[in-house]
């Protein structure tokens, strides 16, 4: 019984990962680097990327413990060749030739902290890693997971501008976990099969800047205003819910690894020319007055192909959108100032 469940779920996982356009014989070579690969997110993310047949080289980098993670993941009999690096002197080897760099390097929250409380430590880490990306793999797509995402993405953008290689189509703040949570909470309340549910989440990735658009959820469900308000709040506080449950042992790692793997898979499909790959992400944007904003994005061979319009919002969502702008604006400015000062 357990064995047959395992077989079924592994074949559907393969379908999820394989994409639509390739037979296993014609999949292009793609190098994916994970920076922070030995951490709470990095390890399960390395596992999930090792299972992704779109990856030909999986390059794992961390300041500590990478050899063990690389040896362990490397024994899995899937396509990707695994290489592990540690130490400043080897960062270039981890990055050279990368098509996609995923960054979960940095410290996580403890109970009572906001994501912005991580700024001082993580901004410096992201600055160092972004400078190395600019030098060693300037054409790679970058998936930023390190918090505070609302500021770390503008930091990376400023570093890339300084290095004269900034391409706004290639820099992404990973907000997929907000979408994953919104889908889970909505499906449970609406009594819908979660696999059928989609919910766009816009804005940013911290507290009120996370704005799920339940008015655009598919399939639609007839939930009351009070329920939608509660679902919005739960999605906004999802990270804090995990931080409190972990009680001093960090923040979301497993659900984040899943979300990070989903988003990386979408980026790889886009790079490989699979049509109509659309995910929410925090990117450089002109759809509001803010220079960075999370919304639905169409992914293509060069990264962002199109930032999609927000679509019609309910009055509640319109209020949420106006309410999030001051915080998001100041987080963006804080990131920009960190590099420019
Ligand atoms: N975007 C999101 O939705 C989301 C979700 C969850 C967590 N996060 C963030 O992801 C980050 C990592 O969380 P975690 O739980 O994996 O933390 P963790 O402490 O378990 O792991 C972080 C890893 O980064 C490594 N690291 C530190 N400095 C580095 C550097 N200069 N180069 C390479 N590696 C370095 C550490 O050695 C460690 O292995 C945190 O900032 C957290 O807030 C973001
Ligand atoms: O909440 C955190 O600090 C981690 C992450 O941003 C999350 O949403 O789980």
CATH number of 138's domain: 3.40.50.720
> Is 276 domain-assigned?
yes
Judge whether residue 14 has pLDDT over 70.
no
Last residue of a domain, one of 117, 146, 174: 174
Q: Quick one: which of 172, 92, 89 has its CA closest to 132? A: 92
Mean pLDDT in residue range 285-294: 98
Measured distance CA(133)–CA(84) in Å, rounded: 17
pLDDT of res. 26? 80
Mean pLDDT in residue range 99-114: 98
Q: Above pLDDT 70, what percent of the chain? A: 93
334: CA distance to ligand 1 center in Å? Answer: 20
CB 144 within 8 A of CB 152: yes
pLDDT of res. 223? 97
CB 197 within 8 A of CB 186: yes
Last residue of a domain, one of 140, 174, 208: 174
205 is known as an active-site residue: yes
Residue 299 is encoded by which pair of tokens?
Answer: 């992914």
User: Do 274 and 306 share a domain, yes or no?
Assistant: yes
239: CA distance to ligand 2 center in Å? Answer: 4
Mean pLDDT in residue range 329-338: 98
Measured distance CA(133)–CA(116) in Å, rounded: 24
Average pLDDT, the chain: 94
User: Do 170 and 117 share a domain, yes or no?
Assistant: yes
CB 50 within 8 A of CB 77: no
Name the domain count of the chain: 2
Place of tokens 């999820």: 16
pLDDT of res. 25? 57
C-alpha 3 chain-centroid distance: 32
User: Do 107 and 213 share a domain, yes or no?
Assistant: no
> Is 180 domain-assigned?
yes
Q: Which one of the listed residues 127, 183, 205, 329 is annotated catalytic?
A: 205
User: Do 166 and 248 share a domain, yes or no?
Assistant: no
Q: Which residues of 132-170 are buried (b: 16+ CB within 10 A; e: fewer)?
A: bbbebbeebbbbbbbbbbbbbbbbbbbbbeeeeebbbbb
Mean pLDDT in residue range 176-191: 98
Q: Quick one: which of 104, 155, 105, 148 has its CA closest to 134? A: 155
Last residue of a domain, one of 174, 203, 224: 174
Mean pLDDT in residue range 76-85: 98
Rg from Cα positions in the chain: 19
| Residue-wise pLDDT tens digits, 297-331 | 999 999 999 999 999 999 999 999 999 999 999 99
Q: Domain containing 138: what range?
A: 31-174
10: CA distance to ligand 1 center in Å? Answer: 28
User: Do 73 and 135 share a domain, yes or no?
Assistant: yes
User: Do 123 and 191 share a domain, yes or no?
Assistant: no
Measured distance CA(234)–CA(284) in Å, rounded: 26
> Is 22 domain-assigned?
no
User: Do 208 and 96 share a domain, yes or no?
Assistant: no
Residue 101 is encoded by which pair of tokens?
Answer: 């760099």
> CATH code at 198?
3.90.110.10
User: Do 220 and 243 share a domain, yes or no?
Assistant: yes
pLDDT of res. 6? 32
Residue nearest to atom 3 of ligand 2 (CA): 109
Q: Which residue has the higher pLDDT, 83 or 5?
A: 83
Mean pLDDT in residue range 230-237: 98
pLDDT of res. 7? 32
Q: Using a 6 Å cutoff on CB, does residue 251 contact ligand 2?
A: yes
> Is 25 domain-assigned?
no
Q: Which residues are CB-contacts of 238 (< 8 A; sequence separation ≥ 6)?
A: 177, 178, 181, 185, 252
Q: What is the dihedral of CA 135, 297, 221, 219, to 10 degrees?
A: -110
Residue nearest to atom 5 of ligand 2 (CA): 239
* Residues in the ligand 1 pocket, defined by CB under 6 Å: 35-36, 38-42, 61-64, 104-109, 118, 122, 125, 128-129, 145-147, 149, 174, 177, 205, 250-253, 256
Q: ipTM of this predicted complex?
A: 0.99
Residue 235 is encoded by which pair of tokens?
Answer: 């999605």
Residue 54 is encoded by which pair of tokens?
Answer: 């779109």
Q: Which residue has the higher pLDDT, 247 or 13?
A: 247
In DSSP terms, 61 is beta-bridged to: 35, 85
Annotated binding site for substrate: 109, 115, 147, 181
Residue nearest to atom 2 of ligand 1 (CA): 145
Q: Using a 6 Å cutoff on CB, does residue 181 contact ligand 2?
A: no
> Is 82 domain-assigned?
yes
Atom from ligand 2 closest to the CA of residue 256:
9
Judge whether residue 127 has pLDDT over 70.
yes
Q: Quick one: which of 32, 83, 37, 49 has its CA closest to 260? A: 49
């Amino acid at each position: 019984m357990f064995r047959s469940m395992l077989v079924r779920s592994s074949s559907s996982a393969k379908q999820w990962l394989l994409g639509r356009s390739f037979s296993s014989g014609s999949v292009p070579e793609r190098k994916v680097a994970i920076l922070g690969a030995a951490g709470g997110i990095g390890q399960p993310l390395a596992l999930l990327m090792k299972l992704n047949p779109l990856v030909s080289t999986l390059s794992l980098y961390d300041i500590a413990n990478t050899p063990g993670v690389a040896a362990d993941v490397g024994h899995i009999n899937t396509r990707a060749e695994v290489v592990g690096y540690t130490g400043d002197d080897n960062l270039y080897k981890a990055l050279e030739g990368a098509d996609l760099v995923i960054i979960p390097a940095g410290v996580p929250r403890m109970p009572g902290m906001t994501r912005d409380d991580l700024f001082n430590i993580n901004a410096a880490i992201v600055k160092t890693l972004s400078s190395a990306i600019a030098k060693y793999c300037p054409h790679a797509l970058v998936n930023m997971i390190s918090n505070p995402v609302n500021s770390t993405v503008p930091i990376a953008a400023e570093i890339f501008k300084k290095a004269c290689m900034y391409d706004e189509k290639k820099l992404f703040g990973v907000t997929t976990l907000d979408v994953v949570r919104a889908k889970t909470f909505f499906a449970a309340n609406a009594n819908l099969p979660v696999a059928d549910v989609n919910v766009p989440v816009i804005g940013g990735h911290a507290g009120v800047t996370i704005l799920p658009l339940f008015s655009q959820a598919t399939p639609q469900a007839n939930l009351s205003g009070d329920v939608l308000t509660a679902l919005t709040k739960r999605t906004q506080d999802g990270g804090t819910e995990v931080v409190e449950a972990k009680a001093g042992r960090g923040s979301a790692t497993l659900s984040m690894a899943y979300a990070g793997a989903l988003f990386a898979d979408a980026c790889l499909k886009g790079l490989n020319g699979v049509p109509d790959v659309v995910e929410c992400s925090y990117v450089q944007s002109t759809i509001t007055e803010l220079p960075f904003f999370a919304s639905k994005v169409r992914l293509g061979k060069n990264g962002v192909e199109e930032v999609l319009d927000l679509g019609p919002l309910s009055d509640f969502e319109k209020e949420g959108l106006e309410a999030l702008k001051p915080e998001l604006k100041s987080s963006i400015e804080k990131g920009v100032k960190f590099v420019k000062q």
